[in-house]
Structure 1
Amino acid sequence: MKNYLQRILTASVYDVANQTPLTLASNLSRRFNNRILLKREDMQPVFSFKLRGAYNCMAKLSDAEKARGVICSSAGNHAQGVALSAQKLGIKATIVMPRTTPAIKVDAVRQWGGRVVLHGDNYDAAKAHAEKLTEERGLTPIPPFDHPDVIAGQGTVGMEILSQHPGPIHAVFVPTGGGGLIAGIAAYIKQLRPDIRIISVEPEDAPTLERAMAAGRRVTLDEVGIFADGVAVKQIGKEPFRIARELVDECLLVSTDEICAGIKDIFEDTRTVMEPAGALAVAGIKKYIAQTGITDATLIGINCGANMNFSRLAHVAERAELGEHREAVLAVTIPERPGSFKDFCETIGNRPITEFNYRYASADEAHVFAGIGLVNGLDDRDEVVAALEEKGYPVLDLTDDEMSKVHVRHMVGGHAQQVADEVLYHVRFPERPGALLNFLKRLGKRWNISLFHYRNHGADYGRVLVGVQVPPAERADFKASLDKLGYPYRDESNNPAYALFLS
């Protein structure tokens, strides 16, 4: 470890890398009664810490190794670091990336001058192909994490933390995939401040270090989730594990929902959107506080990257509320009769309904897929379920069911074979407490609702698609009720999509 201290102190990183800020997350700190600091590695030129290790490793190559050109395998961030370092050093670089790598990372590598080869569906497949090309073409490999010079380059993050915050620090939370970052940070900090806890944070579906620590040896995972693609590796590096096994104090695992909530938390404090791996540390800090009840401590999280595909933002926003326990997803069976929606909403009380999916299925009962906004987290969820069951509604809590959250919520509906006299309307109403219930009260119990879809989109107005069984002779009365309500609406009964999929 003393050897690593010297390597880190003499690392060549600042020709290309920045000393990134250590900033106070004021909102998070207030919420959790601790001093939470964020190490902003997302502010590097390639929006990730990976530049440090890549450049340090490449700067130490011999002239012959540089002349042959370099190659690496990467899910994206190491690739950008290698590409920029190669451009700076005048070296040709070949980058092998999984086909699942976000386009923003692939495009960035090409912009830095790297030659991109897309191969395989995960990091390990890309790594195997890079090893094959290395042998065939005599290229110089630049490992993403399992090399002393790469580890030393990443260790400069720990060096900066101690210089920027010489005061008491309870723990540093480090996103972990292949282990280069946590090994470098731990090797430096534990030499100088052994009292500081080093805590690894990994996704539940990619626990490379956690499994290795439990087994006492490196293990190869059968499969890994790729939501947090920056840490999606099947096995921690040999040298990182040697260091981590000795110096890392604890491993925490976090869910996809918790990662999404972390992305939202960081955005609210910094107005910057992290990639999923970049929010692991904040998700881990929140879990650690919940588990230990710690207060008035200094907790530091590494924001390791911000290479986020714009197309993923909708998914992140949707899952963030679940990760914060601000939404419950429930399947509720209600009677199929006019007014049953209104009764259901009154049972929910003043809690906001964030989503409502329903399609007529039978003459006796209806199955509703509902999102319920929560005020007091898990306790509030229990109260909602209890209130519904007390009213005689069968309830299935789907908040923790992955299939329901990813797929079923978007598939509720379909054709209804026994619905007569249905008209379809799109209604817009102000997004405020009681507005949805007011809409349902206006319909009263005169007409039966046969289709209903609503989802809170975070705007200042809500949008409802509603199907109602209204005999032709009563349609003037129905439109008059809508007019009295005062919400903008339009008739969608002749929409061709309605005919194809719903009517």
Structure 2
Amino acid sequence: MKQHVDAAAEAMRGLFPPTPLQLNEHLSARYGARIYLKREDLSPVRSYKIRGAFNFFRKVLAGGEAGRSFVCASAGNHAQGFAFVCRHFGVPGVVFMPVTTPQQKIDKTRIFGGDFVTIRLVGDFFDQCYAAAQAHAAATGAIMVPPFDHADIIEGQATVAAEILWQLDDAGLPDLVVLPVGGGGLSAGVTGYFGNRLAPDAFLFCEPEGAPSLRRSLEAGAVVTLDQVDNFVDGAAVGRIGDLNFAALRRFRPDQVMLLAENAICVTIAEMLNVEGVVLEPAGALSLTALEALGRPALEGRTVVAVVSGGNFDFERLPDVKERAMRHAGLKKYFILRLAQRPGALRDFLNLLGPDDDIARFEYLKKSARNFGSILIGIETKAPENFAALKVAFDGAGLRYQDITENDILASLII
């Protein structure tokens, strides 16, 4: 595998230089370790997906398929990598996207592809979009470019590992490599390239809690299709890991796959933006969120490479990210209160708040009650322990309340 990946990496230099491998001083100091970030968010399309797409096209065109058109289905990073490579090779391509795709992603794909790419919006869900792309390929003879489940795609993603080894140089081999997982192409490629250079325990895989396709497949010993997927971490929200990718990863243990809460990922996005000025998409923050979950005792003194897989973040999502981050950090909670309908009742309630507590939302939910009214209230504070004191004050005042912060169903309907 190494020889083919090295050839792919060399050919790739005609498209873009190696992405940086940066020693991050902020994270290294926090964990007492040498934390290197492989910055795939700094590729031309702000994700590693350009690698697999380039290698796939390179192999097809070298095999005498010049004159053929290409097609893919994607609402995100794969579409952008596909479009960029179409323009690079000067070949026509069609990108099928769901109608619900954000305009920002459509526009970026169009910019990267230029006159060589046509975008077609089909269906409300990815499955409908993918079926339309397959039908197009069958009807026109266009070559379908898969997002992750193909040997040439895996080989292209493996160039990440080739660059890491070259860039570490005098630092030697890493003690731990942290990899985000969606369809598994990146993980299959990187672990395959490292081969016997690193022990299996030197790899940690990260999935969002809402899309644990690798973890569940390793637990079952076979590829599992998830019944449902939380799409918040859209770059890794895959309901079924690739068959070839699982075959490459099945040697790892299920406990080497860390499942990370979507709200915890938001804490990482907000911190990296505020502290480091680094813009990460949710999937791009997975590996850094895993470092926080591991903590200093597990990382101290070690050399760690965390792959930052992408930075295609739509800033319209920032309010939602901030909201989720504060809730996960215990700095914001939502309550439903039963407040007496009498003069001074609201003033009495406000007097229960501490000096660092701030009302972020206040809304009457029921205005027809004669004696009591139901109120939705959101409270922000500066330290999580302030809520324990606040609840003591609520109880001492005989206030009837319900904390709905972690009630996903209720919170999604009201908040």
Q: How many residues are treated as equivalent by the alignment? A: 404
Residue 132 (structure 2) pairs with residue 133 (structure 1):
no
| Cα offsets for 1:335-394 (capped at 9, x unmatched) | 3334433433443322322413132733433433333334443x5544433342233222
Give the Cα separation in 2 of the matches to 1:383 and 1:185. Answer: 48
Aligned pair in 2 of structure 1 residues 298, 339: CA closer, same or farther (>3 Å)? farther
Aligned pair in 2 of structure 1 residues 214, 122: CA closer, same or farther (>3 Å)? farther
Letter in 2 for 1:320: A
SS at match of 1:47: coil
Residue 156 (structure 2) pairs with residue 153 (structure 1):
yes
Equivalent pair of 1:274/1:307 in contact (CA under 8 Å): yes
My pick for the range that moved more, 41-50 or 391-400, is 391-400
My pick for the range that moved more, 50-59 or 386-395, is 386-395
Counterpart residue number, 2:72: 72
Which one of the candidate residues 356, 362, 367 is aligned to 1:351? 356
Give the Cα separation in 2 of the matches to 1:245 and 1:146. Answer: 15
Equivalent pair of 2:353/2:390 in contact (CA under 8 Å): yes
Counterpart residue number, 1:184: 189
Give the Cα separation in 2 of the matches to 1:33 and 1:351. Answer: 32
**How much has 1:92 moved relative to structure 2?**
1.1
Which one of the candidate residues 2, 7, 12 is aligned to 1:5? 2
| Cα offsets for 1:277-332 (capped at 9, x unmatched) | 22222222222329x76544444332212222232222222222113332222223
Residue 326 (structure 2) pairs with residue 330 (structure 1):
no
Aligned pair in 2 of structure 1 residues 338, 163: CA closer, same or farther (>3 Å)? farther
Equivalent pair of 2:354/2:386 in contact (CA under 8 Å): no
SS at match of 1:126: helix
**How much has 1:396 moved relative to structure 2?**
1.5
Counterpart residue number, 1:501: none
CA RMSD across the alignment = 2.6
Letter in 2 for 1:241: F
Larger RCO (CA under 8 A, 6+ residues apart):
2
SS at match of 1:347: coil
Residue 368 (structure 2) pairs with residue 371 (structure 1):
no
**How much has 1:395 moved relative to structure 2?**
2.8
Give the Cα separation in 1 of the matches to 2:125 and 2:118. Answer: 19
Residue identity over aligned pairs, in percent, reads 34
Letter in 2 for 1:60: K
Residue 47 (structure 2) pairs with residue 48 (structure 1):
yes
Residue 43 (structure 2) pairs with residue 37 (structure 1):
no
Counting only pairs closer than 5 Å after superposition, residues 255-266 of structure 1 correspond to structure 2 as 255-266=261-272
Equivalent pair of 2:149/2:245 in contact (CA under 8 Å): yes
Aligned pair in 2 of structure 1 residues 217, 110: CA closer, same or farther (>3 Å)? same
Give the Cα separation in 2 of the matches to 1:350 and 1:236. Answer: 49
Counterpart residue number, 1:199: 204
Counting only pairs closer than 5 Å after superposition, residues 211-226 of structure 1 correspond to structure 2 as 211-226=216-231
Which one of the candidate residues 397, 401, 408 is aligned to 1:402? 408
Letter in 1 for 2:96: V
Give the Cα separation in 2 of the matches to 1:28 and 1:369. Answer: 38
Give the Cα separation in 2 of the matches to 1:320 and 1:380. Answer: 17
Give the Cα separation in 2 of the matches to 1:393 and 1:167. Answer: 61
Give the Cα separation in 2 of the matches to 1:115 and 1:140. Answer: 15
Counterpart residue number, 2:86: 86
Give the Cα separation in 2 of the matches to 1:172 and 1:340. Answer: 56
**How much has 1:168 moved relative to structure 2?**
6.1
SS at match of 2:336: strand
Aligned pair in 2 of structure 1 residues 269, 35: CA closer, same or farther (>3 Å)? farther
Counting only pairs closer than 5 Å after superposition, residues 461-500 of structure 1 correspond to structure 2 as none
Counterpart residue number, 2:56: 57
Counterpart residue number, 2:291: 285
Residue 267 (structure 2) pairs with residue 270 (structure 1):
no
SS at match of 1:395: strand
Gaps of 5+ in 1: 410-503
Counterpart residue number, 1:420: none
My pick for the range that moved more, 235-244 or 60-69, is 60-69
Counting only pairs closer than 5 Å after superposition, residues 235-246 of structure 1 correspond to structure 2 as 235-246=240-251
Which one of the candidate residues 323, 340, 349 is aligned to 2:345? 340
My pick for the range that moved more, 390-399 or 206-215, is 390-399
Counterpart residue number, 1:229: 234
Equivalent pair of 1:66/1:140 in contact (CA under 8 Å): no
Equivalent pair of 2:360/2:380 in contact (CA under 8 Å): no
TM-score (norm 1): 0.74
Counterpart residue number, 1:440: none
Letter in 2 for 1:43: L
Give the Cα separation in 2 of the matches to 1:296 and 1:331. Answer: 47
Give the Cα separation in 1 of the matches to 2:26 and 2:410. Answer: 31
**Larger-gyration structure (1/2):** 1
SS at match of 1:68: coil
Equivalent pair of 1:7/1:149 in contact (CA under 8 Å): no
TM-score (norm 2): 0.88
Residue 104 (structure 2) pairs with residue 104 (structure 1):
yes
Equivalent pair of 2:165/2:173 in contact (CA under 8 Å): no
SS at match of 2:205: strand
Equivalent pair of 1:119/1:129 in contact (CA under 8 Å): yes
Equivalent pair of 1:57/1:153 in contact (CA under 8 Å): yes
Equivalent pair of 2:35/2:306 in contact (CA under 8 Å): yes
My pick for the range that moved more, 134-143 or 156-165, is 156-165
Aligned pair in 2 of structure 1 residues 154, 307: CA closer, same or farther (>3 Å)? same
Letter in 2 for 1:6: Q
Give the Cα separation in 2 of the matches to 1:380 and 1:295. Answer: 31
Give the Cα separation in 2 of the matches to 1:401 and 1:243. Answer: 38
Give the Cα separation in 2 of the matches to 1:60 and 1:200. Answer: 29
Aligned pair in 2 of structure 1 residues 103, 366: CA closer, same or farther (>3 Å)? same
SS at match of 2:235: helix
**How much has 1:100 moved relative to structure 2?**
3.0
Letter in 2 for 1:264: A
